[in-house]
Amino acid sequence: MTIIESKITVNKPVAEVYEFLADLNNHQQLMPENIYNWSSTEDEAKFTIQNMAKLALKISSRKKNEEIVAIPSEEAPFALELKWSLSDKGDGKTVALHSISAELNMMMKMLASGPLQKLVDHQTATLKKVLEK
């Protein structure tokens, strides 16, 4: 299992960060420009990654103010899980850890690790920007 992570501190209370992330409609704001054909509800999102794949995700679990986990709702190019783990840092600040766990063979790991790392880094940086406006 390949695990790709990115962590950031957001100057917002954990409840506010959780409420934003718990609704997949908000995740479109976190996506890079190479994501298109986005459609979503609170619990599911479908989109296309340019030159790569179509993905359909659904929330598999939520732990209030702690964690949101999404998994594919349709067949994906490889098994994966996207997780946001939140921890209250006090002083109205939240640490957000975004991780993607993916079942990648050696070839896929070489091809996908870089783009997946860029994706999680982009999403955490954008989360901070969007919530701290």
Domains with residue ranges and CATH for the chain: 2-131 (3.30.530.20)
Residue 115 has pLDDT above 90, yes or no: no
Q: How far apart are CA 121 and CA 110, in angstroms?
A: 18
- The pLDDT > 90 percentage for the chain reads 82
Among 70, 56, 76, residue whose Cα is nearest residue 21 = 70
- pLDDT for the residue numbered 89: 94
Contact 132, 21 (CB under 8 A): no
| Sheet with 2-10, side-by-side order of all strands | 2-10, 93-102, 80-90, 67-72, 53-63, 44-49, 35-40
pLDDT value of position 103? 94
- The answer on pLDDT for 129 being more than 80 is yes
Compute how many other C-beta atoms are within 10 angstroms of the C-beta atom of residue 19. 14
Region for residue 98 given its phi and psi (left: phi exceeds 0; alpha: psi -120 to 50; beta: otherwise): beta
pLDDT confidence of residue 104: 92
- Indicate the average pLDDT of the chain: 94
Q: Is residue 85 within 8 Å of 66, Cβ to Cβ?
A: yes
pLDDT in tens, 31-87: 999 899 999 999 999 998 887 778 999 999 999 999 999 999 998 878 899 999 999
